Structure 1
């Protein structure tokens, strides 16, 4: 298939840039996702996801513009110092679906201004509220720039990252894993680059971090039984179904991220991480299997049933029991889960080796 561009797929995002209100911006999102849905049948999954995440980036950038304008109109003036709006999670990896929630943060310049803390506290609360209105649900884990933990000056971020890297407890390591997927969206990109430098410097200075990251990554919910059969949900509204996000997609993301951190690969997307890892170890058959399984996982994830609420899409990320009865889907799922099982065993071996070295 030839390389994709916006003209080839008749996808026009220009309406986002000219939206002047939250209502208009929400309308643009609904229009864009309506045009994007049928394109999934004609584009490769990689090309389609690129379009979807390009849309999200444009919507978020415009949301920041509108928010700045409203702050000015409310008497708070323009941003008192430069800032970088950053995203984590699937947005950071450019793997957001049409129904992803918020995972974001803010890096504020260290330039002195006595009003900057008050300004950005108000700004980020307004922003996260309006992003929720646009269809980006607030993060249940509160990984949002409206939370002080994820809204800091560059100097404060440096101290926080160093503290997480020294502590190496379960929660600080979880925060580091989240930070590993950081991606700049808008504002002063130099702040995001400085953040990355601080992040990766710690991995050189504290070698034990690899073990701590591995310990957090190796957790895994059984998805295949001893007979190689898919383990489905036993109870609740999704009984008989399968959670594609946490059963296949997230375990693959976690494995690839760990391998990238271990080999100092600074790519953010899972696709780019895999390509770089394979270039470093071309004989690693497991990494090549991960490439195919990851594409399958994304394809299955965006194919899960959706409902529409106020024009916006909602998905449980579950493949229904009825869909699992379709032979092609079950074959793809079992193949992907076989790769997930292999990655989990590889991580377990690395963990046992690391524990023996410690003793």
Structure 2
């Protein structure tokens, strides 16, 4: 079990502290000589002790040799790549692995608490730490060659979380790990389809994940919530290929073990697959008429994230959404009213009210009880300020930075959210271990007095946040 926890150790414990550096003003030929003398493939470029770029063998090949330039006439600044992808020395190895994988690089510059150079860590450094580990699982996913192998790997993700849940790893890190590994499975699946059948579509579309997956906040029970946007200039034949690709992709995702969305929010549904221009028109229709159905659709699309494909299409959709909703107090008020429909299940003297029904007696739906109110309410506040940050906690932090939330309010809200997610993840793990289908419902009888107190405090925090939303958008008495 200790091996599994390595992923949640600080980067500073494992990074290389002795880093060879150079100045941006140094002649390139001198830098090459330094690299040869030390037998290294890269140098960190620093000014006044602060890293600002990097130069590697690849830069020499692509920017000098391939261009036929004279290295004697160049300085480091002429070919270094910048900005750097960095990580703080107190952040976890998991986060280092995530940034390396997401950015398609092999090393990260590690920063100290004051922003100065502290070291370097590579993907190989992390992978050498252990064999049966989350990072090894990431590498195995990247090397998968079939849908069947990805299905088995998706099952391993669940097994890994079952191992980690009782080891003291913080719930927020577990949720990020689940989201990252699920991302990797889907990314590899898309890449396989592009390589084997749809190479002609590369760069012509973006596959979008929505809802909790778009926020990177999945737990152990999830279905598909996705969409697809493609370039406006596709020919009719290319559009037909997009249709075929989306149908093949969704069937493959189901084969991996991720069930279809009961509401049909999937890329193979024509309602959720459009060109960029068409998407703008569709969304404008949702914004114009705030029916319950349209509000639900807006709630999904405002959490969009491109998992694979042309990122400019993702950004264009985000810009369009922000332009339509920033300052649109009327529509934001409708969205908020939808959040406030979910009353916090607290009765007199703080008694937690559970659901009724034969299969729900004594249980509490944590999503309806508070998680939905926090994720959606925080998103509404962020949108009202024009923000495009993804994820509930990053949005809360941003709202605190710009003064929408006081620091104390933000800290309380983050703690409330993490408490509810912890209970949801724990009850899902219990269900899987007992052979039951996991869901969002927790049985109060399984909680001790201290745990019930934590849950009650969290629900009180949700109620307080709903009051803040009600006052912010000047809504009538709904709670």
TM-score by length of 2: 0.68
Structure 1 position 211, deviation (Å): 2.2
Contact map agreement 1:165 1:206 (CA 8 A) in 2:
no
How far apart are the structure 1 equivalents of 2:436 and 2:190? 22
Structure 1 position 141, deviation (Å): 1.8
How far apart are the structure 2 equivalents of 1:208 and 1:242? 32
Q: Which has the higher contact order (CA 8 A, sep 6+)?
A: 1
Corresponding position: 1:234 with 2:356 = yes
The aligned counterpart of 1:210 is 332
How far apart are the structure 1 equivalents of 2:358 and 2:194? 44
Corresponding position: 1:14 with 2:139 = yes
The aligned counterpart of 1:66 is 192
How far apart are the structure 2 equivalents of 1:52 and 1:323? 25
The aligned counterpart of 2:292 is 170
How far apart are the structure 1 equivalents of 2:340 and 2:367? 17
How far apart are the structure 2 equivalents of 1:71 and 1:313? 38
Matches within 5 A, 1:256-271: 256-271=378-393
Gaps of 5+ in 1: none
> Could you say what secondary structure the match of 2:356 adopts?
coil
Corresponding position: 1:191 with 2:313 = yes
RMSD (Å) for aligned C-alpha atoms: 2.4
The aligned counterpart of 2:71 is none
The aligned counterpart of 1:5 is 93
The aligned counterpart of 1:120 is 242
Q: Which whole-Å deviations, capped at 9, do the CAs of 1:62-97 have from their partners, x for residues lacking one?
A: 12123334545xxxx632861001111110110011
Contact map agreement 1:89 1:181 (CA 8 A) in 2:
yes
Contact map agreement 1:278 1:288 (CA 8 A) in 2:
no
Matches within 5 A, 1:1-359: 2=10, 3-6=91-94, 7=126, 10-11=133-134, 12=136, 13-40=138-165, 41-69=167-195, 71-72=197-198, 78-79=200-201, 82-204=204-326, 206-281=328-403, 283=406, 285-306=408-429, 307-308=431-432, 314-324=437-447, 326-351=448-473, 353=474
In the comparison of the two structures, how many residue pairs are matched?
A: 348
Contact map agreement 2:326 2:386 (CA 8 A) in 1:
no
- Answer with 1 or 2: which has the greater Rg: 2
How far apart are the structure 1 equivalents of 2:223 and 2:347? 32
Q: Which whole-Å deviations, capped at 9, do the CAs of 1:316-347 have from their partners, x for residues lacking one?
A: 221124313x1232111101100111122233
Structure 1 position 139, deviation (Å): 1.1
Contact map agreement 2:179 2:217 (CA 8 A) in 1:
yes
Gaps of 5+ in 2: 1-8, 11-90, 95-125
Higher alpha-carbon deviation: 218-227 or 333-342: 218-227
Q: Which runs of 4+ in 1 moved over 6 A?
A: none
> Structure 1 residues 209 and 303 mapped into 2: Cα distance closer, same or farther (>3 Å)?
same
